[in-house]
Amino acid sequence: MVRKVRTRETRQRRLVLETLRATKTHPTAEWIFEHVRERMPSISLGTVYRNLNVLRDEGLVRELRVNGRTAHWDADLSPHAHFVCATCGVIRDVEGVPPLDWRGLKDLVGCEVHHQRIDFHGECPSCLRQQEPSN
């Protein structure tokens, strides 16, 4: 988890980070790959995966595991919650959820908390509409 080696700033790594920072869609590695490729056609998917892992270990991006087996990525490090649609899988930021107090965890059970994650699971408006078109 902790990276001991000094990392370099390559064009590939910079583009991966820039691309992720430029979106709020919590994309997959594949999506990032396709978008970086528009600016650097020679980049490979493996490099995108490797760089996402490096950036995650450096604390610059966050890996989201929500539903399904595909990881999603987020460069927004500010405390915020997510809404996940069970049907279409879309992930939306939810502002205004107050951070929880976790000091008790250290005192009670000895766990050291680095960050928290709050997800709401349900149905997004457009999926709701499609499910009950007559109601």
Among 109, 133, 134, 135, binds a second copy (CB under 8 A): 109
Cβ atoms within 10 Å, residue 5:
6
What is the closest distance, in whole angstroms, from the C-beta atom of residue 17 to DNA in the complex? 11
Span interacting with a second copy, options 7-15, 33-41, 42-50, 115-123, rule CB under 8 A? 115-123
**In sequence order, which residues have a C-beta less than 8 Å from that of residue 19 and are 6 or more positions away?**
32, 35, 36
Q: Are 69 and 89 spatial neighbours (Cβ–Cβ below 8 Å)?
A: no
Whole-number minimum distance, CB 81 to a second copy, in Å?
Answer: 8
| Alpha helices (H) in 22-73, listed in sequence order | 29-39, 45-57
Closest separation in Å from C-beta 36 to DNA: 9
24 binds, among a second copy, DNA, none (CB under 5 to 8 A by kind): none
CB 32 within 8 A of CB 16: yes
Per-residue x/- track, 52-91, a second copy (CB under 8 A):
-----------x-xxxxx-x-----------x-xxx----
